[in-house]
Amino acid sequence: EKKDINVLEQMQNMTIDLNSKVMLEKAEKDGVETMYKRKLGYKVQCGFGLQGICCRNCGMGPCRISAKTPRGLCGADEHTIVGRNYARMCAGGAAAHSDHARDITHTLALTTPGGDYQIKEPEKLKDFAQFLGIEVGDKDIYDLAHEVAEECLMEFGRPFGTSKMMKRATQARQDLWKELGIEVRAIDREIATVMHATHIGCCADIESLVLTGMRCSLGDWVGSSIGTILSDIMFGTPKPVHTEANLNVLAGNNVNIILHGHEPTLSEMIVAASELPEMQELAKEVGADGITLSGICCTGNELTMRHGIKIAGDFHQQELAIITGSVEAMIVDVQCIFPSLAELSTHYHTKFITTSPKARITGSQYMEFHEDTAMEDAKTIVREAIMNFKNRDASKVLVPDLKSEGVVGFSENAIVGKLNNVVNTQIDDMDTLKPLIDVLASGVIRGVVGVVGCNNAKTPSNYNHLTLIKELIKNDFLVVTTGCGASVAAKNGLMLKENAKKYAGKGLATVCELVDIPPVLHLGSCVDNSRIINICTLVAQSLGMEVPDLPVAGSAPEWMSEKAIAIGTYVVANGIDTYLGVMPPVTGSSRAVEILCGELKDKVGACFHVNEDAIELAKMIMDDIEAKRPHFEELY
């Protein structure tokens, strides 16, 4: 028994979320396994993998670099192996984000007046069409949407020339990318180029491998930007909306449906289906009071941004949500879904429903979702969840007590709108951006930091995010956030304006009060990091500056996915220094570290910085931004 207590304590020390600690105790009592338990089994992780010096790129391998074997069988050294592995991480991330964008683009092609998918933002569509060089005239809005969809699909496989989305960067950035040979030609091509260049017997030059990875990551930025823009066009540009966060949102006698994964196409339909009177009545018929939808990971972020749908938890809480025993259905699409959910849900009444052919999971209930029968599919899935309510076993239910409230929905238009005292606004000239620039230039706000990304079992869940964010806002740095970092902030009350006085420095608290914003702004899902780059670019353009001149930074203090590596790399390529709280697997090559954490600064005006101590990471960010301020103020 002593050993069991010890195991529980060890697991509970791996998270700072109090609800999660309660659920880990329940997991032990229920005899079910979680990531935290599995992590205990991984006392020592593979040193070769951690350093990025294991190569499996051909059948002669695996080859591992050590003092005794300094080269792989083909002669690849540690720099080549680390560089290839890094570039492949960029490609994995770019593939995921851009395939998400491809699905959104196909959905745009299916839009019809009165159909399941419609155009909610015709002006945004027209602006984007013009940007892509499509004549708008007085075309029917749906004809225009279909033309935009075709043009966006060209971004994936344009046979000649370069991506039209390059023009979303400043002219200076475009020139620099051209000079470095990292302009994106087409998204799929950049992914293929990385896979080709990293095949055995191809690229064996670390500098070239990093730049090839960077070009592919810029492809990730192109895909993410398309994903964000088209989602806004079809589902509406987010504006401030109230929400609640943490596992307690599952409390009560409602049918609980959790939406987990990344894409808004299915989940938007689930929202619409669950609001239908027939579904509400069905829920009552089975003895529930109603239906609660909540989200985990970025599907949740997409929904909370546009509808205020509650945030059940972050990446590390997906298993814990099921362990509450109160979830009728966990519906997933793609990315960041633990395969363990299949076995775990057999211990409870939860239906674990997979919906995408790209993310089939053995042991799940597979209900394939098709965009052309979207509403019918969504209704079938919601009905399945409702009918499962009768199987809820009260003796297995324990929903932890804590939840927070917050205001989310800060798209670029919403942020600038707030600063101009209107709801959402077009960002079209210096006038609309001026209030934002003024608070930055006056020093009332010292800088803006994007704190984004995942949870990583290498750090206690949420610790780095929360520590870093609190340090930054205490010192008058405005934090913008996406992904699971946003969930952490929401869970801890940092998305409430009322808490600015408690947590923010005087300057930031005053701005929050004056313009009615919380000290931490939720900008959306992982693809919505494109919003952060967009704002930085617009501010730089309106000031006639370059992005590296701005007092801004990016950070992923608990990153874990390949997508995060691709994001970090495109943020650096855009000229924004990026601070990581977990070391990527590159330390096996001194050259990789020198380039990624140093030499890139000379090439693109920014680089990576790593510190696994969150307080020190915050200090690095703040010191570096403060060092930029005199130059910024002088240019201003």
Which of 35/298 has CB closer to ligand MSK? 298
Beta bridge partners of 253: none
Binding to ligand MSK (CB under 6 A): which residues in 434-473?
453-454
Least separation in angstroms between residue 561's CB and ligand MSK is 4
Which of 72/300 has CB closer to ligand MSK? 300
- CA end-to-end distance (rounded Å), the chain: 65
Compute how many other C-beta atoms are within 10 angstroms of the C-beta atom of residue 290: 13
Site string for ligand MSK, 308-337 (x = CB under 6 A): -------x--------------------x-
Phi, psi of 590 (to 5 degrees): -60, -35
Which of 19/475 has CB closer to ligand MSK? 19
Least separation in angstroms between residue 597's CB and ligand SF4 is 24
Q: Strands 365-366 and 351-354: what pairing?
A: parallel
Binding to ligand MSK (CB under 6 A): which residues in 94-123?
none
Q: Describe the crossing of helices 614-635 and 430-442 by its angle, rounded to 10 degrees.
A: 120
Q: Which residue has the tokens 């002593």?
A: 2
Q: Which two tokens stand for residue 543?
A: 């000031």
Site string for ligand MSK, 493-532 (x = CB under 6 A): --------------------------------xx------
Least separation in angstroms between residue 61's CB and ligand SF4 is 2
Cα–Cα distances (Å) from 207 to 179, 184, 593, in that order, read: 15, 18, 11
Q: Does 126 bind ligand MSK (CB under 6 A)?
A: no
* SS3 (DSSP) at 601: helix
Q: Which residue has the tokens 């490609």?
A: 91
Least separation in angstroms between residue 527's CB and ligand MSK is 8
Q: Which of 14, 101, 191, 298 binds ligand MSK (CB under 6 A)?
A: 298
Q: Which of 72, 223, 447, 493 binds ligand SF4 (CB under 6 A)?
A: 72
Site string for ligand SF4, 79-118 (x = CB under 6 A): --x-------------------------------------
Return the sign of the alpha-carbon dihedral for residues 149, 150, 151, 157: positive
Spell out the alpha helix ranges (H) of 495-588: 500-503, 506-515, 529-543, 562-573
Q: Are 203 and 84 in contact (CB under 8 A)?
A: yes
Beta bridge partners of 313: 296
Least separation in angstroms between residue 200's CB and ligand SF4 is 4
Cα–Cα distances (Å) from 330 to 159, 256, 303, in that order, read: 41, 9, 15
Give the count of residues interacting with ligand SF4 (CB under 6 A).
14
Q: Does 57 bind ligand SF4 (CB under 6 A)?
A: yes
72 binds, among ligand SF4, ligand MSK, none (CB under 5 to 8 A by kind): ligand SF4
Least separation in angstroms between residue 317's CB and ligand MSK is 11
Region binding ligand MSK by CB under 6 A among candidate stretches 70-78, 154-162, 561-569, 611-619: 561-569
Region binding ligand MSK by CB under 6 A among candidate stretches 79-87, 358-366, 387-395, 556-564: 556-564
Cα–Cα distances (Å) from 273 to 70, 104, 118, 462, 536, in that order, read: 59, 19, 15, 33, 37
What's the CA gap between 362 and 385, in Å, rounded?
19
What's the CA gap between 297 and 315, in Å, rounded?
6
Which positions lie near ligand SF4, rule CB under 6 A?
A: 55-58, 60-63, 72-74, 76, 81, 200
Which positions lie near ligand MSK, rule CB under 6 A?
A: 262, 297-298, 315, 336, 453-454, 483-484, 525-526, 561, 563-564
